[in-house]
Amino acid sequence: MMKKILILIFSIIVLVNTMTAQVLVTEDPEVSSLVQRHIDQNSMSTYISGWRIQLFATTDRRKVEREEAKFMQEHPMLRVDWEHSKPYYKLKAGAFATKLEATPILKELKKTYPSALLTKSKVSINEVLN
């Protein structure tokens, strides 16, 4: 009985080893061309979809310029800039690749700027890396 079981197991192992198949994938040249074009376009891009912290928004340009100068003195390590989106001037700080990176800094800045919030933004790869 034991001999029959061993022969059966040996036969199964031999059968499984002979049944292994090889798969050959041939990629269409048009697909290769599209993939390469996609790689080329993305390698040329210097911007990513990231996050910034909007400190506040106002219709008074002078106020946003004063706050920008004040912020730069208090937080020299964080890049700050303002943008005009009619009718508001928005003061934004930082450049973050992920929301997770920006959240602890937002929490800290909310002490001074209670209305601060995270905004989705196009950010330079260099800003995120520095």
* Domain locations along the chain: 48-129
Give the pLDDT confidence score for residue 18 in this predicted structure. 67
pLDDT digits (tens, 9 = 90+) for 24-78: 888 888 988 888 888 887 777 788 899 999 999 999 999 999 999 999 999 999 9
Exposure pattern of 80-119 as b/e (b: 16+ CB <10 Å)?
bebeeeeeebbbbbbbbbeeeebeebbeebeeebeebebe
Residue 122 has pLDDT above 70, yes or no: yes
Bridge partners, 28 (sequence order): none
Whole-prediction pTM value? 0.66
Residue 115 has pLDDT above 80, yes or no: yes
CATH superfamily assigned to domain 48-129? Sporulation related repeat (3.30.70.1070)
